[in-house]
Structure 1
Amino acid sequence: MTQMLAEGLFRVEGDRAVLLGSRRRASGVVKFPAERAELFDDTEDIEPIELSTAGTLFTFTTQEFPPPLPYKGIRAPEQFRPYVVGYIELPEGLLVEALIVGADARDLQIGQPMVSTTTVFETADGQSFLTYAFTPA
């Protein structure tokens, strides 16, 4: 089984990635990734929540060249494969940056429905990690 990119970031339910966020009880502010209660004095105000698995494509672009460090993927120009990344607007009122899989940039439109999924991220040293992504609904 492929190792999760980070513990506590999301869980897998069928073919969906369920993102794990937090909400401030007093203000209703939702955050992703979740705030870590142990870093704050008023831990009673922070509640863990599961975010919606469906949202809307807010914007997107294609990463055509290797990102700078600390990017851990393949950086050699002759091996790097461009990928689509974007922001998904969730019903909870926040934007989540994510890889977009299952579609080329030319097939995407701002405002289109998207659903969460998972994909495998491969590092330059050959490790594989399961991470969240979004795909057209």
Structure 2
Amino acid sequence: MRTDLVEPLLAFLEAAQESECVWGVSDCTRWAADWVEQVHSRSLELPHWSSRDEAHRRIEIAGSLERLWSGRLAVFGLFETGRPQLGDVGVIDTGRYGQVGGIFLHGEYFAWRAETGVAFLVPRVIVKAWSIL
């Protein structure tokens, strides 16, 4: 296990529980990007949006949330992994909400920044995962 990520990740998750989800600022994509930026100490360029509708339009134009993330994470230098580890980021298919982004936790759990707070779940389908390191 990546023990060096445990404390920073716990603090990151806790901070999200105490703040409101704002589209374009702390939604599932921006939240996971903030985690990547914290670990790597540099900015991750993603498309900007200011509402749920605008986010869904940009995702539709890209073809999916996974496609929107893929190109940007490759340019940033993160690579796909078939076995996500603690702190890795990814896109899962929730069925009910479609594709969502988030952070993989220990024991196959996934943290998703939903509008109601951080949700913890075991993904049914991992669309794609990227190694944080």
Band the TM-score falls in, shorter-chain normalisation: under 0.3
TM-score by length of 2: 0.27
Q: Which structure has more RCO (C-alpha within 8 Å, separation ≥ 6)?
A: 2
Comparing both structures, which one devotes a greater share of its residues to strand?
A: 1
In terms of fraction of residues, the more helix-rich structure is: 2
Larger radius of gyration: 1
